[in-house]
Structure 1
Amino acid sequence: MGSAGVLRAALWGLLLPLICAQEGILHAFNNDNPLLKKDYCIMYNPSWTTLPSSLSTATSARLTNLTPKLVCSPAEVPHDMMKDKAVVVMRGNCTFLEKAWIAQNLGAKILLIASETGLDTPSGDRTTYKNLSIPTALISYADVLDIGKTLGNNVNVTLYSPPLPRFDFSMVVIFLIAVLTVALGGFWSGMEELEELKASASSESTEVSRKNSESVIFNPAKIIVFVILSCVMLVLLYYFYVWLVYVIIAIFCVASAISLYNCLAVLVRKIHFGQCRVAGCGTTFEVRLIFLLGFCIATAAVWVVFRNEERWAWILQDILGIAFCLNFIKTLKMPNFKSCVILLGLLLVYDVFFVFITPYITKSGQSIMVEVATGPFKNSEKNYGNLVEASGERSAPHEKLPVVMRVPRLQFCTPMICGVPFSLLGFGDIILPGLLVAYCHRFDVQTSSSSVYFIFCCVGYAVGMLLTFLVLTLMKMAQPALLYLVPCTLIPSALVAWKRKEMKKFWEGNNYQVMDPADFGAAEESSTLSREQPGGE
């Protein structure tokens, strides 16, 4: 399978929104010795529980450890054992809401649910628990054991959630990655267009045909099929995430290795030394390109092995992701502005529906898009299709889809108790507007318009990203970035075409671009045969 084939197989998984997560802190201290204290990470649902923003304004409660009890029935514990206490119970056998409702009715002041399968935001349908008010949070079972070992049995706990800084420096990194990748991918596509035009003018038809065969023309029919497949695959991921996530990881590993090779090979070929070749399989290969291929495969393999290493694996994922996006923008060509409008318009509706509308459809009240981006099974009481039981072993971390840029959020005013939180940006929010940017640059090359379309479209993309970050900061919830990126790129491009009186040409594109590479090859072969026939030219 060629690079274009692998990229087409992976494209449906690119449409993930810019998102961020929620966590809090459990402060525990020994009643006999207040200097003996320690902080632990908790996860809570802010729509269920409002925690104080500082330790000084929080109230404490005596901790009662009821593990390994599950507390799915009021008969499991005596009433007075929970009265005005902060109780810890095990996760499993019933929902978070059922546990919280039982604990509240038994007089508990705080409910902590110990988890052996990782921390995630408690979720569920609150329609039948409208009067639920008890603070409920998820805590690691290992931390529960550590509290007893480190602080003893006479312990009080307090829950609070320090506010995140208003300005998130990870947004700057994501902004630079997105804008530079889009601009570089669009520039690369335009330069390829210029080379093809020069080759065509020099009658180097074989080279032109070869380069066209490496490209994929995304016509309206393919766009509609792609959007339908994207919807189907997203829903399948929502229900069968635990199996399909490994398919996506495998596809990303292969596609990113190929993409990294294609990106670096362009730079290596610019070097005019070290071009020794070896013969094999009826052809010759440059030794340096063989080593480059090995390096790219090794890079992808290292990421696969260490993908769950939070401290540094995100750097490899972002490097591979940048190469993936660049190669995609260069390889996948939009034939005209009409196709760009159809693609971005349909995917805008797709993005908004799966982020904003699906919470009203799903039982958990969560967005399908966000649950898939963060791992849908982490938000439920089920793991690998079975109810979670209280076992003595910690499970492996939840696998996450690799089709996002991940940048750790720097927290200067809050302790890093919960590890390194990440801001995420889906590849689709880079690639899809990038296809329009690439078309604008190719159109600039075709019309010798001094990159005016390319520049305005890049500036529009940057403005759209800034608008996305602004709304994300103000609303503090996941955002479909295409909602802001699509109008900010389509409108400036259309205005430039209207101002230059080139709208018809910009809308329809050039004839040879509209033709699919397969059709191009067939047409060229037919032309060759016709010339060979008697009476042919």
Structure 2
Amino acid sequence: MKSTAAAVLWLILISVISGVVFAGDIVHHDDKSPTRPGCDNDFVLVKVQTWVNDKEEDEFVGVGARFGPTLDSKEKDANKTRVAFADPPDCCTTPRNKLTGEVILVHRGNCSFTTKANVAEAAGASAILIINNSTELFKMVCEADEPYVDIGIPVVMLPHDAGKSLKGSLGEKLNVFVQLFSPRRPVVDVAEVFLWLMAVGTILCASYWSAWSARESAIEQDKLLKDASDDYLSMEPSYTSGVVEITTTSAFVFVVVASCFLVMLYRLMSYAFIEVLVVLFAIGGVEGLQTCLVAVLSCIKSFEHAAKAFINIPFLGGVSHLALVVSPFCVICAAVWAAYRRHHFAWIGQDILGVALIITVIQIIQVPNLKVGTVLLSCAFLYDIFWVFVSKWMFHESVMIVVARGDKSGEDGIPMLLKIPRMFDPWGGYSIIGFGDIILPGLLVAFSLRYDWLSNKSLREGYFLWTMIAYGLGLLITYVALNLMDGHGQPALLYIVPFTIGTFITLGAKRGDLRDLWTRGEPDRICPHVQLQPSAE
């Protein structure tokens, strides 16, 4: 992370998924299929709880059809009903077996879904389960030439493996019962609240660390300038060290490179490729966690000597004794996460490593002025809209959402995300946010605090408080949109960028600081050693 190339590489790598905040699709809208009275239901997931010979067995997940009545949302209100297999299996003609309110299990094919439903209802079935011919769930719609649909029984499609299991039990002459219900997701889940707090807290920590480092560096520079010779005074002062400043050109290049990398992830998505990303994330997590721990421990007097004592290591240069002691712990943390990343508790390790990496990147990579920050976030704004929404027209699916979920990889999403399990959602799943939704706005927020501190502005008179509030509101609006869209992935920067940039520019213009903010990115300090004061010990 010391070199410019490494810092920019990490920024691109962990910011590719920037603009995705979602929590598992539960309701699916389909504007292409014909709708009419009796055929205008939303596609909802359905829980199919099974019993075999009065013993509770597996719970399967199906999808409800666009037609037919809606199912109960609560398990206690759903009826436990016997299952019968259709004869003939396709249920395109009147079943030979006599039905008295059973749920009929049928195969897909040979006639339309509405025909199967009408035949099953006429035969006396209370519901119909259609076995798909693949593991995916298919959206059952009405035929284009059907003028009116009036189906009075629920219609649910099951994946092939679920249907095969039920069919096998029926083939052995066992008594099979099912309970069909479609739980509704809560309007707000606690996971979203914690994820919001995590994102805001991460930017707060990163901003204060960045501003503190900039102020301490400026104080040291001012002391040297005060006592320096005329030759030294003629040199260009630098108030930060060990950081990488983004330029306008690099902001444009970032979007191009990130787009190429995102397409590569989309095209090459597989189990092996995810393993490569896991290794890269673990390496970045080790560096980020080590950097944060060393910075925190260095503030403790007991560790001051170890932090200031260095040893030269080939290819790495000077490394503090404290970093050498902390490194094995960081490596073990990353290794444990990688080994157990498929377990239900692995999200904790992923979030710890991710937050540490985000804070470190915001500390090392900086926006020098408002102009660069505006260009960077504007490019990211367009990047998100294109790869979340526009890419559907080119690739027939949202490229960024597919990559974020890790579809076709056999893994539960890529690791460059913060995630928290949904605690009160009957469907489970995770609420997630891409690293880029924190890092990219965080660069601008950190710049606002550095400017405030270097110009000795109070919290209310400065820009940090209002930019931070704008970020929080933008992210909050993202979650509101997420719930209004029934869990469909939302590009967070679509809401965050206008809030943060708009607030910053409006305040700058109103207070007369916009010229300095836009070009110089730092206050006009004629006597810097007088204006700046070190923080109290």
TM category (shorter chain) comes to 0.7 to 0.9
1:303 aligns with 2:325: no
Which string of whole-angstrom CA distances, capped at 9 and with x for unpartnered residues, describes residues 445-494 of structure 1? 23222242111111111111221122222221221111111111112212
Specify the alignment match of 1:516 in structure 2. Answer: none
1:136 aligns with 2:151: no
Specify the alignment match of 2:372 in structure 1. Answer: 339
Which string of whole-angstrom CA distances, capped at 9 and with x for unpartnered residues, describes residues 321-356 of structure 1? 111111111111112111111111121122122223
Q: Secondary structure at the match of 1:136?
A: strand
Specify the alignment match of 2:417 in structure 1. Answer: 404
Instruction: Provide closer, same or farther for how the CA distance between residues 124 and 36 of structure 1 changes in structure 2, counting only shifts above 3 A.
Output: closer
Find the structure with the greater CA-based Rg.
2
Specify the alignment match of 1:321 in structure 2. Answer: 354
Q: Secondary structure at the match of 1:14?
A: coil
Instruction: Provide closer, same or farther for how the CA distance between residues 46 and 432 of structure 1 changes in structure 2, counting only shifts above 3 A.
Output: farther
Report if aligned partners of 2:311, 2:320 keep a CA contact under 8 Å in 1.
Answer: no
1:352 aligns with 2:385: yes
Aligned CA RMSD, in angstroms, stands at 4.1
Which string of whole-angstrom CA distances, capped at 9 and with x for unpartnered residues, describes residues 25-84 of structure 1? 112235xx6x54456141537879965423435695625499xxxx9xx79x99869998
1:469 partner amino acid: Y
1:291 partner amino acid: V
Specify the alignment match of 1:184 in structure 2. Answer: 205
Q: For 1:54, which of 53, 74, 77 is the aligned residue?
A: 74
Report if aligned partners of 1:45, 1:137 keep a CA contact under 8 Å in 2.
Answer: no
Q: Secondary structure at the match of 1:162?
A: coil
Specify the alignment match of 2:455 in structure 1. Answer: 447
Find the aligned partners of 1:314 and 1:372 in 2 and give their Cα distance: 18
1:244 partner amino acid: F
Instruction: Provide closer, same or farther for how the CA distance between residues 127 and 272 of structure 1 changes in structure 2, counting only shifts above 3 A.
Output: farther
Instruction: Provide closer, same or farther for how the CA distance between residues 267 and 408 of structure 1 changes in structure 2, counting only shifts above 3 A.
Output: same
2:50 partner amino acid: A
Specify the alignment match of 2:275 in structure 1. Answer: 246
Find the aligned partners of 2:65 and 2:291 in 1 and give their Cα distance: 45
Give matches, 1:86-235, under 5 Å: 86-87=104-105, 109-113=128-132, 122=137, 134-138=155-159, 144=165, 148=169, 153-203=174-224, 212=240, 214-235=242-263
Q: For 2:436, which of 424, 428, 432 is the aligned residue?
A: 428
Instruction: Provide closer, same or farther for how the CA distance between residues 7 and 102 of structure 1 changes in structure 2, counting only shifts above 3 A.
Output: same
Find the aligned partners of 1:424 and 1:54 in 2 and give their Cα distance: 27
The structural deviation recorded for 1:502 is 0.5
Specify the alignment match of 1:25 in structure 2. Answer: 47
Report if aligned partners of 1:408, 1:421 keep a CA contact under 8 Å in 2.
Answer: yes
Percent identity at matched positions? 25
TM-score by length of 1: 0.74
1:474 aligns with 2:484: yes
Find the aligned partners of 1:184 and 1:299 in 2 and give their Cα distance: 21
Find the aligned partners of 2:110 and 2:331 in 1 and give their Cα distance: 49
The structural deviation recorded for 1:362 is 3.4
1:174 partner amino acid: L
Specify the alignment match of 1:42 in structure 2. Answer: 61
Specify the alignment match of 1:493 in structure 2. Answer: 504
* Bigger mean CA deviation after superposition, 131-140 or 173-182: 131-140
Instruction: Provide closer, same or farther for how the CA distance between residues 398 and 51 of structure 1 changes in structure 2, counting only shifts above 3 A.
Output: farther
Specify the alignment match of 1:269 in structure 2. Answer: 298
Q: Secondary structure at the match of 1:441?
A: helix
Specify the alignment match of 1:10 in structure 2. Answer: 13
Q: Secondary structure at the match of 1:135?
A: strand
Q: Secondary structure at the match of 1:327?
A: helix
* Bigger mean CA deviation after superposition, 197-206 or 461-470: 197-206
Q: For 2:289, which of 260, 273, 284 is the aligned residue?
A: 260
1:238 partner amino acid: Y
TM-score by length of 2: 0.74
1:442 partner amino acid: R
Q: Secondary structure at the match of 2:299?
A: coil
Give matches, 1:289-300, under 5 Å: 289-300=323-334
Q: For 2:400, which of 352, 369, 394 is the aligned residue?
A: 369
Specify the alignment match of 1:92 in structure 2. Answer: none
Specify the alignment match of 2:124 in structure 1. Answer: none
* Bigger mean CA deviation after superposition, 130-139 or 467-476: 130-139
2:277 partner amino acid: I
5+ residue gaps, structure 1: 90-97, 379-396, 514-537
Q: Secondary structure at the match of 1:376?
A: coil
Which string of whole-angstrom CA distances, capped at 9 and with x for unpartnered residues, describes residues 261-293 of structure 1? 111110111122253568564887544321211
1:237 aligns with 2:256: no
Find the aligned partners of 1:100 and 1:165 in 2 and give their Cα distance: 39
The structural deviation recorded for 1:178 is 0.7
Instruction: Provide closer, same or farther for how the CA distance between residues 5 and 435 of structure 1 changes in structure 2, counting only shifts above 3 A.
Output: closer
Which string of whole-angstrom CA distances, capped at 9 and with x for unpartnered residues, describes residues 183-202 of structure 1? 11111111111122112113
1:54 partner amino acid: K
Specify the alignment match of 2:125 in structure 1. Answer: none
2:224 partner amino acid: S
Which string of whole-angstrom CA distances, capped at 9 and with x for unpartnered residues, describes residues 208-255 of structure 1? 999956322111111111101222222222222115333322221111
